[in-house]
Structure 1
Amino acid sequence: MARIGLISLSDGRDYVHSGIVEFVRSTEDRLAAALAEAGHEVVRASTPVFANTEATSAGREIEAAGVDLTVLHYCVWAFPHFTMLAAGALRGPLVLVANPDPVQPGMVGMLAAGGALDQIGRRHTRLWGDPASVVATIGTRGNAAAAVAKLRGSTFGRIGGRPMGMNTAVANTDQWQRQFGIDVEEIDQWEIVRRAEAADPAEKRTAREWLERHATVRYDGVKLTPELLERQIGAYLAMRSLIDEWHLDFTGVKGQPELTRHFATMDVAEAFLNDPYDWNGPKETHVCATEADMDGALTMQLMKHLSGTPVLFADVRHYHADRDIWDLCNSGQHATWFAARSDDPAENLARVTLHPEVFFFPAGGASVHHIAAPGRMTLARLTRLDGAYRLQLMPGEFENYDEATTAALEAQSTPEWPHAFARLDVPAETFLSRFGANHIHAVPGDLRPELREVCDLLGMTLDEFTRG
C-alpha cells in the first residue's frame, strides 16, 4: 500500500473561502476515509489552501512527510496559481482529483490547474468523480509510485561479471543511477567461496537436516552428497553475510562457469534467498537473480514491491506447440514458495525434490525441483531496445497436469530442474519474434494496471502482449 499526500485547493477570495471551507473539509474527509479504508496511509495538509503562502507551506509539509504520491483535490473553484506553488514544492507524482458538483465548480478548478501544469511540462494524472469511484485508480498509481520510490537509493549487489557472454544480463550502471536511482556494488565470486567455507558448521548441519525432513533429498554419492548440500547451504549463508555487510537491497550471482565447475551450483542459495522463509523461520524475501541478470533482478524487485510475494525467475525453455504451453525452467532458481504458494514452508517443501545436478554443472550440488502451482499470473521483463528501457508485459496461467503428463513434459527438457507450465495470452509467433531476453519473471494475480503506471512514472515504453 502507498503513502499518499492530500491537499485540497480552495478559492483565494477570503470572503468566498470562509463560506465554503467546511464543504471543502467534509469532501476531503470522505476522500481521505476512502483511501484509508483501501489500506493506504494518508497524510493530509494542515488546512485547505486559500492563499499563496498556504500553497507553498502545504506543498513543503507534504513533501517533508515522504509521500509516494500527492493528490491535489478540487471540490470548488480554486485559484490555479495555488496548484503551481504547491506543485513547485512537490517532487513526486501528482494526481488531480475533481469532485463533480453542479453547485461548486471543482471540475473547472481542476482543468484550470491542469492546464497550467501542462504549460510548464509538469506531468500529472487527472481523475473526476466521487471518492468511491476514484480511490481504486488513485491506489493503483500510488502503489506504482511507492514501488518506483523504493528503487531510488537502493543498492544492487552484482556478484561476478557477465555470464557466458549473456549481453541481456548486463546493464549500464550510469543508466541505472540516472533512470532508477540505483547504485551497483561489484563483488567478486571468491567472496562466496571464502565465506561459505567459514560459515558456521552447526547451522549448515541444521539446515541440511531441515531440508532432509521437509523435502525429498536424492543423494547419489557423487553429484549430491551431504557435504555438497552443506557447501550450497554455506553459499546461502555467505550471501546473507554479504547482503548484511554491504547493505544490498537485491542481488545477482554469476555462477557459471566458475562456481558451477569448481565449487557448487547456487541453486539452493538463490531459491531460499527468494523465499519468504528458511530453516530459521519467516524472513523477508530477497530478490536474487541467477546468472547475475541485472535487468532480470530489476524486474523482480519492481514486481516484489508491487506484489509482496516472491517473484519467479525462469528461462523460456521450450514451447509445446501441441498444447500451446510454455515450459519456464531454469536450473534451481525458482523459490520453493511457488510449489504450493503456501505460508507454511512444510507444505511447499513437501512438493520439492533435491536432485543431483546434471552434466552442465561438474561441481555438483542439489537442483531444487518442483512444479509451480497453478493459477493466474502476471509475466513481465524489462528489456532494452536500442538502449532504451521497455517493459514487456503479458498475462498468463500456470497449469498442472496428471503425473504421467507432467513427467512426459519434463523429460523433453531437464526433469531435474523446476518447471512452470504456462499458457500465455499471446501467440507464440508474436512472443518469439518480439520478446527481448531469454529470462522471464512472474507473480500471482493481475499486476498489469500497476505495471502500466510504473512505465508512465519512469518514462518507459510499455510493450504489452495480447492474444488479439
Structure 2
Amino acid sequence: MIGLVSFTDPRKTALSHERESAIKEKHEKLLKELSEEFEILDINAELGKYSEEIFGINSVEEAIEAGRIAKSKGVSGVILGLWHWTESNLVTYFIKEANVPILLYSDGDPNWAGATCVTSVGASLWESSVNEYAIRHSRVIGDVELVKAWARASEAIKALSERALLLFGGTYTLGMEHLMDDLPRLKKFVGDFIILDQYVVIKEGESIEDEKVEEFYNWLMKNTNVKFDNKMLTPEVLKKQIRLYLGAKKIVEERKERVSGISIKCQPELSEVYGVTACTIPAFFPFNQDAFGEKPIIPATCEGDIKGTISSALLYYLSGKPPLFGDIKYVDDEIVIIANCGASSLYYARLSDDAYENLRAVTIQGQCQGKSGGALTYRTPPAEFTVARLIRRNGKYYLLYFFTEGVEITEEIERKLKWGKQWPHTAIKNPLDSQDFIRVMGANHLSLVPGDYTAEIEYVTKIWGIEGIDLSDPIEVKKFLKS
C-alpha cells in the first residue's frame, strides 16, 4: 500500500479557493492514476480534508497526524503532493512521524509554484536529515511513470523486509566465500533468515505418499520430454528428485513465516552424499504450475547464494514475474551466456504465460555432475531483460544491474557448448567489453526478469542507501573499478 498526501500554504493571508480547488483536483487525478496499479491510502481523506475549505495539509498538528496515520497503516512509502507552496517544516514534522520512504511530486503545472515547493522541501530535508528517509527522499516533476516506478520499488522493499529467506543447507558451497554474508546486517534488506539442514528436505520428501510422487512423475512424463539413460537418470532417480521438491514444498507451506525466496545448497550433501541433485527445486519453485495445479511463485537459487537469492526476490517483487538464476558460463565482447547447473525457472523455456507451453519445451535428461540426477534442459528465446546482482566488496554493498536484449542460441553457439550442455541456457547481449564485464562482477551468478525495471532498481538503491552500478553506463563502471 502506498500513501498519498497533499500539502498547501499554511498562511492565513494566502488562502485561495482557486488554489485549494486546483490542489484537490491534482490530488484526485494522481490518486486515480495510481489506483489502477496500487492500493492507495488517501491520507487527506483519512483526515477528512475533502469536506474542509482547505484541502491540503496546512498545520503542524495535521502534518504530525498525517505522519501517524501513514505509520499506523503500514504503508510502503508516501507520495507527497507539493503542487504549489507549503512551509518545508510541515513535511519535516510529517516524515519524523511516518518514518517511511517518501517521494516529492509536482505535476509541473506553470500556473502554480510546484517546482519552488519541491526544491525548497527537498533542500530542507537534506538540511535537517531527521531520519534516513529524509536524507534519501526522491523527487519527480510531471512524470507519473517515474512515480509508479518509485512505488514499485517501495512495495518491493517492503515485501522483502516483511518476509524471510529460507536456506536449505545454509551457505558457502564449494568454497565460494562470496556466497556468505553478515546475516544480521542483511536484515537491512530482508526480514529474517531460516536455515534448515538439507536432511529435513530428504526426510519430508520420503514421507510423501507414493501416489503423489507417481502422479507428479506421470505428469512430467506427459508434459515434458524425458530421456532416461539407465545411469544418471532412471525412473527411480527422477522420483527421488520429485520427492526433494515435494518435501521442500511441504516445508515452505507449513512455515508460519512468509518466505520470499529459497536456496538449496545441494552440493555436495545431496548431489554426492545423498546421491541425487535437487534440480526440481530451482525449476519448479519459481514457476506457477506443478502436477497439482497452479501455485505461488517463489524465487529459488542454488548453492546457498544469499545475495543471489535477495537479487532474485527483489526482481520478482518489482515485476511479478518468475526470476531466472544461473551461472555466468561464457563471456565475450558480444554476449553473456547464463546457465545454471541443472535447472532454472521453467518459465524461461518459452517465456509464456501458458505453463504447459513452457513445459513442452523442456527436456529432462541425465546430469553431467553429481552421482545421479536429471537436468531440466531448455534454451531461452530472445526477449528484453533486466539483470541484477547484489554484491559486497570490502564490506560495502553494491547493486549491479543493466537492461539488455536476449540473443538466440544458434546452432553455431550450440556446437561450442560441451560441459553442462544439458543445463538451461540463456544468452544476452553484453553491455560491456568482455574484460570490463569480468572485472566488475562480484559473483559468478546473475538473476534476471523480462522487461525494463532499471528505474525501479535505481529507486531501490536510493531507498536502501547503497550504490547502484548500471553496467550499461561505462562511466559508472570505470568509477567502480577505480574505487
Q: TM-score, normalised by structure 2?
A: 0.89
Residue 457 of structure 1 corresponds to 463
Residue 443 of structure 1 corresponds to 449
Report matched runs for 1:295-334 at 5 Å.
295-319=307-331, 324-334=334-344
Matching of residue 380 in structure 1 with residue 388 in structure 2: yes
- The Cα offsets for residues 368-389 of structure 1, whole Å up to 9 and x where unpaired, read as 1111121111111111010111
Q: CA deviation at 1:390?
A: 0.4
Query: Quick one: which of 95, 104, 109 aligns to 1:96?
Result: 104
Is the 1:6–1:43 Cα contact (8 Å) retained in structure 2? yes
Work out the number of aligned pairs and report it.
Answer: 454
Q: CA deviation at 1:21?
A: 2.7
Is the 1:10–1:17 Cα contact (8 Å) retained in structure 2? no
Residue 42 of structure 2 corresponds to 44
Q: SS of 1:112's equivalent?
A: helix
Give the distance between the partners of 2:234 and 2:86, measured in 1 at CA.
72
- The Cα offsets for residues 383-405 of structure 1, whole Å up to 9 and x where unpaired, read as 10101110111232222244x43
Query: Quick one: which of 272, 286, 294 aligns to 1:261?
Result: 272
Give the distance between the partners of 1:289 and 1:53, measured in 2 at CA.
48
Q: Does 97-106 or 81-90 show the bigger shift?
A: 97-106
Residue 188 of structure 1 corresponds to 197
Report matched runs for 1:136-285 at 5 Å.
136-161=145-170, 162-177=172-187, 179-246=188-255, 247=257, 248-263=259-274, 264-285=276-297
Is the 1:383–1:437 Cα contact (8 Å) retained in structure 2? yes
Q: Does 457-466 or 231-240 show the bigger shift?
A: 457-466
Matching of residue 113 in structure 1 with residue 154 in structure 2: no
Is the 1:78–1:106 Cα contact (8 Å) retained in structure 2? no
Residue 286 of structure 1 corresponds to 298
Is the 2:332–2:434 Cα contact (8 Å) retained in structure 1? no
Give the distance between the partners of 2:174 and 2:438, measured in 1 at CA.
22
Give the distance between the partners of 1:15 and 1:200, measured in 2 at CA.
77
Residue 409 of structure 1 corresponds to 416
Is the 1:394–1:464 Cα contact (8 Å) retained in structure 2? yes
- The Cα offsets for residues 294-319 of structure 1, whole Å up to 9 and x where unpaired, read as 11101000011011111111111123
Q: CA deviation at 1:184?
A: 1.2
Residue 127 of structure 1 corresponds to 140
Matching of residue 419 in structure 1 with residue 425 in structure 2: yes
Is the 1:356–1:365 Cα contact (8 Å) retained in structure 2? yes
Structure 2 residue identity aligned to 1:61: I
Give the distance between the partners of 1:5 and 1:225, measured in 2 at CA.
55
Give the distance between the partners of 1:16 and 1:4, measured in 2 at CA.
30
Give the distance between the partners of 1:272 and 1:407, measured in 2 at CA.
25
Supply the RMSD in Å over aligned alpha carbons.
1.9
Q: CA deviation at 1:233?
A: 0.6
Q: CA deviation at 1:99?
A: 4.3
Give the distance between the partners of 1:251 and 1:94, measured in 2 at CA.
30
Matching of residue 341 in structure 1 with residue 351 in structure 2: yes
Is the 1:76–1:106 Cα contact (8 Å) retained in structure 2? yes
Q: CA deviation at 1:283?
A: 1.4
Q: CA deviation at 1:118?
A: 1.8
Q: CA deviation at 1:425?
A: 1.6
Give the distance between the partners of 2:34 and 2:110, measured in 1 at CA.
24
Q: CA deviation at 1:126?
A: 2.3
Give the distance between the partners of 1:6 and 1:254, measured in 2 at CA.
43
Residue 68 of structure 1 corresponds to 76
Structure 2 residue identity aligned to 1:332: G
Q: SS of 1:466's equivalent?
A: coil
Is the 1:204–1:234 Cα contact (8 Å) retained in structure 2? yes
Residue 25 of structure 2 corresponds to 26
Q: SS of 1:57's equivalent?
A: helix
Query: Quick one: which of 333, 352, 367 aligns to 1:357?
Result: 367
Residue 94 of structure 2 corresponds to 86
Give the distance between the partners of 2:332 and 2:436, measured in 1 at CA.
15
Q: TM-score, normalised by structure 1?
A: 0.92
Is the 1:371–1:420 Cα contact (8 Å) retained in structure 2? yes
Q: 1:231 to 1:93 in 2, by over 3 A?
A: same
Give the distance between the partners of 1:171 and 1:152, measured in 2 at CA.
17
Structure 1 residue identity aligned to 2:96: G
Structure 2 residue identity aligned to 1:262: V
Give the distance between the partners of 1:349 and 1:102, measured in 2 at CA.
54
Give the distance between the partners of 2:451 and 2:236, measured in 1 at CA.
39
Give the distance between the partners of 2:311 and 2:110, measured in 1 at CA.
45
Structure 2 residue identity aligned to 1:383: I
Is the 2:328–2:338 Cα contact (8 Å) retained in structure 1? yes
- The Cα offsets for residues 398-428 of structure 1, whole Å up to 9 and x where unpaired, read as 22244x43530333x3211111122222111
Q: 1:319 to 1:109 in 2, by over 3 A?
A: closer
Matching of residue 396 in structure 1 with residue 404 in structure 2: yes
Q: 1:169 to 1:18 in 2, by over 3 A?
A: same
Q: CA deviation at 1:112?
A: 3.1
Is the 1:378–1:446 Cα contact (8 Å) retained in structure 2? yes
Matching of residue 430 in structure 1 with residue 428 in structure 2: no
Is the 2:224–2:362 Cα contact (8 Å) retained in structure 1? yes
Give the distance between the partners of 2:21 and 2:108, measured in 1 at CA.
17
Give the distance between the partners of 1:421 and 1:115, measured in 2 at CA.
44
Is the 2:342–2:367 Cα contact (8 Å) retained in structure 1? no
